[in-house]
Chains A and B, each alone.
Chain A
Amino acid sequence: MAEDEKVNIAGIVTDVGNTKMKKTGSWRTEIPTVNMDICTGCGICKQFCPDGCIVIENKKCIIDYDYCKGCLICENVCPFKSITSKREDK
């Protein structure tokens, strides 16, 4: 018989924000890439990214592929067409 694993009382989680250990990037079938020559770092993609995977550093958009689920909203909202996508082979 299996033993009970250790659990926190009432299923309470105090290690807040620990879902960052779950790399949802593995879900992705399409991958967006940023053309740094065109990107102005305007941050519109960051504003609309549902998964919080975009940061703006040195006026450029950086996508964190650990979490990017490949929805391609960023590609779609970019006013400068600096983001393009292609099928991702894994």
Chain B
Amino acid sequence: MTLNVLEGSMAVAESVRLCNPDVIAFYPITPQTHIAQEIATLIADGKLKCQHIEVESEFSALSAVIGSSAAGSRSYTATSSQGLALMHEVLFAAAGMRLPIVMNVVNRALSAPINIWNDYQDSVSERDTGWIQLYAETNQEAVDLTIKAFRIAEDKRVLLPIMVCMDGFFLSHTMEPVDIPKSIGNFIPKYKPTHAYLDSKRPMSQGTFAYPKPYNTLRHELSKTIDKSNIVIREVNEEFSKKFKRSSGNGLIDTYKNDRKISIITMGSLAGNLRYVVNKRDDCGLLRIVSFRPFPKCDIIDALKDKETVIIFEKDISLGTSGGSLFEEIRSALYSLDKKPKIIGVVCGIGGVDVKTDDIEKIIESADTMDNGKIVWLS
């Protein structure tokens, strides 16, 4: 293993190179731009051989890779924020058409007002589209999850698109020591689809119209498939960790000092701040959600069943519920427990404001006095 100090975007571009996509399409948007530029440079230098479509919008970027994936080729794109929102309609299509596209989402706030800094309103808002969503804590994890994503997406038991989410700027534009494997060997075998291709010798129709009954069944199948994808995510995480000596917890969640009475919970790079707090104190441990979709309900229940208090720090808001989606979903997961922990939601980091460890600690310290279900907005 050789560590190189690399910007997050450069590191992710290198991981994409290792996975050998056949077709990529990008539309530039801050803070995704460095990934697009670096991959374009890899192609320009002959280090990555693939077809690059310089599209005129994010809508066309995803539409183009839907076309290339449906034609049977490994396909990749990346975007952020407004770009992801523009893709909204075709996100559903990519999942419903069962196309194993991998997309890095470099998380950024949504307009209005326009803002280029990091939060998760963009990807969390797309949670119901049928895409698997994995969140990276570090640049190393962004690299590893990107590699694993191709393997998971193309597994015959899955065949679903995956978003690998990484924080805009905090990861994408930050230099960190990263190991880029020299080769990933046969970790990702050649993509040979048996379900979807466009070959005039073996014609098929993709994207058909469906009346209520078959539509209903197809959506039910999709729902069952993404639920069951947790098995493959776990397996791939385990195989990756055997081969590369690194893992993302169990693939779905990651815990740190989880034997303590308080659990502080988050996704993405904010886990770094939370780890710092956990190391400083003796009353709290960390639960980090790696896979937001599929939502690892059982793993979460298992990790939280003996807790007195759980506090969720999240960089998204489900407007109209006062808090974030992760809070609502974890609260709902814990409903089945006889002895339910106190739960507190913290909306933080919206529009890229710093989340200070002092503030995190203050919330932990005042949790005792807060009502169960309280939501705090950390400005």
Kindly report which residue of chain A lies nearest to residue B222, judged by CB atoms.
Answer: A10
C-alpha spacing A35/B205, complex, angstroms: 39
On whether the beta carbons of B214 and A11 are closer than 8 Å, the reply is yes
A13 B214 Cβ-Cβ under 8 A:
no
Q: Is B329 an interface residue (CB 8 A)?
A: no
**Interface locus among A1-9, A39-47, A50-58:** A1-9
Q: In the complex, what residues of B have CB within 8 A of residue A9's CB? A: 98, 159, 195-196, 221
Contact B218 A11 (CB under 8 A): yes
Of all chain A residues, the one with the shortest Cβ separation from B195 is A9
| Count of interface residues, chain B, beta-carbon cutoff 8 Å | 21
Q: Which chain B residue has the least Cβ–Cβ distance from A14?
A: B204
Set of chain A residues within 8 Å of B214, measured between Cβ atoms: 5, 7, 11
Is B204 a contact partner of A13 (Cβ separation < 8 A)? Answer: yes
CB within 8 A of A5: which of B203, B204, B217?
A: B217
Check A10 against B96 for contact (C-beta < 8 Å).
yes
List the B side residues contacting A11 at CB < 8 Å: 96, 207-208, 210, 214, 218
Q: Is A21 an interface residue (CB 8 A)?
A: no
What is the number of residues of chain A that contact chain B, defined by CB distance less than 8 Å?
A: 10
Instruction: Indicate which residue in B208, B216, B217, B221 contacts A12 across the interface (CB closer than 8 Å).
Output: B208
Q: Nearest Cβ distance between residue A11 and chain B, in whole angstroms?
A: 5
**Which 6 pairs show the lowest CB-CB distances between chains A and B?**
A10-B98, A4-B217, A13-B205, A14-B204, A11-B208, A7-B217
Beyond A4-B217, A5-B213, A5-B217, whether A10 also contacts B204 by CB under 8 A is no
A7 to B: closest C-beta gap in Å: 5
Supply 10 further A-B pairs (C-beta < 8 A) apart from A9-B98, A11-B208: A7-B218, A10-B98, A10-B206, A11-B96, A11-B210, A12-B206, A13-B205, A13-B208, A16-B204, A16-B205
Chain B residues in the interface with A (C-beta under 8 A): 96-98, 159, 195-196, 202-208, 210, 213-214, 216-218, 220-221
Check B220 against A4 for contact (C-beta < 8 Å): yes
**A10 pairs with B196, CB closer than 8 A:** yes
Number of A-B contacts (CB under 8 A): 44
Residues on B with beta carbons closer than 8 Å to the beta carbon of A7: 214, 217-218, 221
Q: For the complex, what is the distance from the CA of A4 to the CA of B219, rounded to whole Å?
A: 11
Q: Which residues of B contact A10 (CB under 8 A)?
A: 96-98, 195-196, 206, 218
List chain A positions with a Cβ less than 8 A from chain B.
4-5, 7, 9-14, 16
Residue of B nearest to A17 (CB): B203
List, sorted by A's number, 26 A–B pairs whose CB atoms are closer than 8 Å: A4-B216, A5-B213, A7-B214, A7-B221, A9-B98, A9-B159, A9-B195, A9-B221, A10-B98, A10-B195, A10-B206, A11-B207, A11-B208, A11-B210, A11-B214, A11-B218, A12-B195, A12-B196, A12-B204, A12-B206, A12-B208, A13-B204, A13-B208, A14-B204, A16-B203, A16-B204
Closest CB-CB distance, B199 to chain A, in whole Å? Answer: 11
Which residues does chain B contribute within 8 Å of A13, judged by CB atoms?
204-205, 208
Nearest chain-A residue to B203 (Cβ)?
Answer: A16
For A12, the chain B residues whose CB sits under 8 A away are 195-196, 204-206, 208
- In the bound complex, CA of A5 to CA of B217 (Å): 7
CA distance A7 to B222 in the complex (A): 11
CB distance from B351 to the nearest CB of A (A): 38
Q: Which residues of A contact B217 (CB under 8 A)?
A: 4-5, 7
> For residue B208, which residues in chain A have a CB less than 8 angstroms away from its CB?
11-13
Chain A hits for B205, CB < 8 A? 12-13, 16
How distant is B70 from chain A, measured CB to nearest CB, in Å?
9
In this complex, what residue of A is CB-closest to B98? A10
- The smallest beta-carbon distance between B348 and chain A, in angstroms, is 39
Shortest Cβ distance from B194 into A: residue: A9
Complex: how many Å from CA A44 to CA B206? Answer: 33
**How far apart sit A13 and B203, CA to CA, in the bound complex (Å)?**
9
Central interface residue in B96, B203, B221, by most chain A CB within 10 Å: B221
- Give min CB distance, A48 to chain B, whole Å: 26
Distance in Å: Cβ of A2 to nearest Cβ of chain B: 9
Determine how close the nearest CB of chain B comes to the CB of A71; give it in whole angstroms.
Answer: 23
Q: How far is the CB of A3 from chain B (nearest CB, A)?
A: 9
A13 — nearest CB in chain B belongs to which residue? B205
Q: Which one of A12, A13, A14 has the highest number of Cβ atoms from chain B below 10 Å of its Cβ?
A: A12
Nearest chain A residue, comparing its CB with the CB of B99? A10
